[in-house]
Amino acid sequence: MTSSAVLVVEDDRSMRKYLRGALEAHNYAVTEAGSLAEANTATAAQSFAAVLLDLGLPDGDGLTLVRAMRAAASTIPVIVISARQREDDKVDALDAGANDYLTKPFGTRELLARIRVALRHATQPASDDPVIRIGPFVIDRARHEVLVNGDVVHLTPIEFGILALLARHAGKVITHGQLLSEIWGPRGKEQTHYLRVHVAALRRKVEQDPTRPRWLTTEQGVGYRLRDE
């Protein structure tokens, strides 16, 4: 595997041609697959730095590939590229193990940015360090202390838990379901109506302008992301 090897799983030939051109113009080595079967053959024969995956394939749903990869403990980043715009589709993809979700149509610059972020996170897996530094934040998980631009910010235990979880997976979308499960445990689904309240309170404490958050962003109907750039 080279650090620039990308597998494109897409049944639309014109879309594959566009993706190949866009990626090769930026020095990525592209392998194409037009079906799940071809994708399985490709991943068995070669390792890839990233996978771009359509969901509507002729021989099944693209999420089948994601689930198989994660079941095999593969950490290769998967970016879903799909015309499906329903929030449930995005949530299903992220919960299945996809790293990101890009809705068609999309621009080349956005695609390349998502790939760069995914590749960076692949070399920097979820942080287990007791102290995490991101942007203006210093999050001390052992001491349950947060500094923003050098100043201590007092968070409730739930606010700290939300921020620490997002920081461990900085740059990645964490779905509502994942947050609820991690923060509240098995009964998390019963706390759905509280999650938005806690996030709003957290933003008031850590964002310069809570109405236009710079760091703690919303993926509408899907979840939240702590930006790392």
- Position 128 scores a pLDDT of 67
Distance of CA 80 to the CA centre of its chain: 10
Query: 172 falls in which pLDDT band (50, 70, 90)?
Result: confident
- Position 229 scores a pLDDT of 72
CB-based burial, 54-82: b 16+ in 10 Å, e otherwise: bbebeeebbbbbbeebeeeebebbbbbbb
Over residues 95-116, mean pLDDT: 90
The two domains 5-123 and 131-226 share their CATH topology (first three levels equal): no
- Whole-number average pLDDT of the chain: 89
Whether pLDDT at 39 is above 90: yes
Over residues 38-42, mean pLDDT: 95
Q: Is 185 in a helix, a strand, or coil?
A: helix
- Position 193 scores a pLDDT of 77
* Homologous superfamily assigned to 5-123: Response regulator (3.40.50.2300)
Whether pLDDT at 220 is above 80: yes
- Position 185 scores a pLDDT of 80
131-226 CATH: 1.10.10.10
Domain ranges in the chain are 5-123, 131-226
Beta carbons of 141 and 198 less than 8 angstroms apart: no
This prediction's pTM: 0.74
